[in-house]
Structures are given as structure tokens and as C-alpha cells.
Amino acid sequence: AQSVTQLGSHVSVSEGALVLLRCNYSSSVPPYLFWYVQYPNQGLQLLLKYTTGATLVKGINGFEAEFKKSETSFHLTKPSAHMSDAAEYFCAVSEKYSGGGADGLTFGKGTHLIIQP
Amino acid sequence: NAGVTQTPKFQVLKTGQSMTLQCAQDMNHEYMSWYRQDPGMGLRLIHYSVGAGITDQGEVPNGYNVSRSTTEDFPLRLLSAAPSQTSVYFCASRFDRGSNQPQHFGDGTRLSIL
């Protein structure tokens, strides 16, 4: 069974500083990987995804993530934090469905990003 | 294109009451699911459906029922509300299970059980 670990339930950075949100997964097969963002009182929105091909993926709002198979990681970064980036971020992993009763998508518990002025 | 629409956005119930949370999607997605979100717990899967007429339990199904009579609609029923069901509920849809396509989420229903 796959699992997703997001290191740090809260991450605080200064405005203009580098944002790094960590995501590690366990999967028996190469997975599909997603980052979602949730702003207060809203649903989850897709930031970016990795399916195949280039391991560095660019998303919306200046975010990017790199799939590192050897490290089973998919960390999210942004070079310069903005106040509007304050939100909850979720990493998610999906395996190609191969039968069985389980849902194919697993979410991490989320990281709350705090931006200090 | 409305995406995933959830109603109501907010609801307060008394213990023991029943209610239905509505969810509709207009993307012709086969796979739909319900999650609850609680502080520090992330998203937990309640029930899911891989197509009309097919539903199955997720991680935390107790106290909830679902049905899927059409591709578009996937209502979640609370049979007898309990304070432990106070949460934010999200409906989501996806092209299919195990897909490389992302989930699309509704804006959530904030439910309080007194």
C-alpha cells in the first residue's frame, strides 16, 4: 500500500525567501504525483502534477516540484515567497489502478505554510 | 463549466438528525469520492464510486451512506448525526481510478453537529 509523508505540519518563511515543502512517498510502482493548495474556506486546487517525462514540473503561481525516484521524493519549491502563498498544501500519490478495492489516490496530512512579513 | 458543485456550504444539525450533502459534477467523470477534513488529519476517504450504480467504502465509512444513480450526482447521507461527524466535507471527481488525471474538488460543506 502506498503512503505519503509531508515533513512538517507547519512551515514558516519570510516574504521573499525560498519556500520548500517536503513530500516523500512509498509506492511499489512508479506513481503519479500531485501537489494541491487549499486557501482558507476553499476546496483543493491543483498546483502541479508529475505523470511521466521531465522530472522537474512547473505549476501555477511560480511553484515547481522535482520527482526524485531514488529518494522517493516530490518536494515543492518556490524561489520567493509571497504573502498570497499562505495556505495549506497537500501532496498526493496515485498508482495505476491494478484491481482491488482501494482508492487509487493517497493524500499526505498537509503542510500549513505561513508567510512572515 | 461548473466543475464539482456541493450544497449546502454550511449546515448546523442537532444530534440524531439526518441530512444529505449534495454533490454534482459536469465533467462526465466516472470516479467520484467523498472526503472529510479534520485538523491534523488531512483528508480521509469516506466513500467512493467508480461509476453509476457502483459504490464502495473508504477509510471512514461508518455513519454515512452513498448512492450513485447517475454519473453526475453522488450524494452523501448522514443517517443519525453525531458530534464526531462535525467536519468539513469535500466531494471530488476524477476521470477514473488510478488515473494520471487529478482530482477536482468542490468548495466543501462545513457541517456542525450540536
**How confident is the model over A13-24, as pLDDT tens digits?**
999 999 999 999
A95 inside 8 A of chain B by CB:
yes
**A105, A107, A109, A112: best mutation site toward chain B, by most B Cβ within 10 Å?**
A105
Least confidently predicted of A75-79, B56-60, B96-100: B96-100
Helix (H, G, I), strand (E, B) or coil at A83: helix
Beta-bridge partners for A36: A46, A90
Q: Which chain B residue is nearest to residue A42, measuring alpha carbons?
A: B107
CA Rg, chain B, in Å?
A: 13
In this prediction, residue B59 carries a pLDDT of 86
Instruction: Respond yes or no on whether the N-terminal peptide bond of residue B8 is cis (omega within 30° of 0).
Output: yes
Q: Does A5 touch chain B (CB under 8 A)?
A: no
Q: B77-101 pLDDT, tens per residue?
A: 999 999 999 999 999 998 877 677 7
Count of residues making up chain A = 117
**Contact predicate A77/A57, CB 8 Å:** no
- Cα A12 → chain centroid: 16
Task: Specify the pLDDT at position A103.
Answer: 54
- Is A7 part of the contact surface with chain B (CB cutoff 8 Å)? no
Which candidate from B4, B96, B98 shows the least CB-CB separation from A95? B98
Question: What is the helix, strand, coil percentage profile of chain A, to 5?
Answer: 10, 55, 40
Cα separation of B45 and B59, whole Å? 5
**C-alpha to C-alpha distance for B70 and B78, rounded to whole angstroms:** 20
Interstrand relation of A64-68 and B54-57 (parallel, antiparallel or unpaired): unpaired
Contact A90 B103 (CB under 8 A): no
A9 at the B interface (CB within 8 A)? yes
Q: Do A96 and B58 touch (CB under 8 A)?
A: no
Q: Do B33 and A98 touch (CB under 8 A)?
A: no
Q: How far apart (Å, rounded) are the C-alpha atoms in residues B61 and B24?
A: 20
Higher local confidence (pLDDT), A19 or B1 = A19
The pLDDT score that the predictor gives to residue A96 is 62
Which residue type is seen at A4? V
| Contact predicate B47/B58, CB 8 Å | yes
A25-to-B5, B51, B60, B61 alpha-carbon distances in Å: 30, 28, 22, 25
